[in-house]
């Protein structure tokens, strides 16, 4: 469980270009934990980390798209 927390924090503190990959890894580990320990007292916290990671993936992808759009606009101005 604590490794999931660390992985999530690592993803959050990573460079933007690495975040999606690392959040996906958190989600994979959450699924693995859930499959191996379905009755764990930590299962709700694990589900929370999976949902947080999904939300962060969406936010990060939106930010990346926004940056790309801005770069394209700047390129077209030149």
For residue 71, what pLDDT is reported? 94
Residues with Cβ within 8 Å of 8's Cβ and at least 6 positions away in sequence, in order, are 23, 26, 49, 52, 53
Query: Model confidence over 14-61: pLDDT tens digits?
Result: 999 999 999 999 999 999 999 999 999 999 999 999 999 999 999 999
Residue 12 domain boundaries: 2-77
| Number of domains into which the chain is organized | 1
Cα–Cα distance measured from residue 4 to residue 18, given in angstroms and rounded to the nearest whole number: 17
């Amino acid at each position: 469980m604590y490794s999931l927390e660390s992985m999530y924090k690592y993803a959050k503190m990573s460079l933007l270009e690495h975040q999606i990959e690392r959040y996906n890894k958190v989600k994979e580990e959450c699924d693995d934990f859930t499959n191996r320990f379905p009755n764990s007292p930590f299962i709700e916290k694990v589900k929370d980390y999976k949902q947080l990671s999904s939300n962060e993936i969406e936010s990060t992808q939106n930010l990346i798209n926004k940056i790309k759009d801005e770069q394209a606009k700047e390129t077209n101005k030149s």
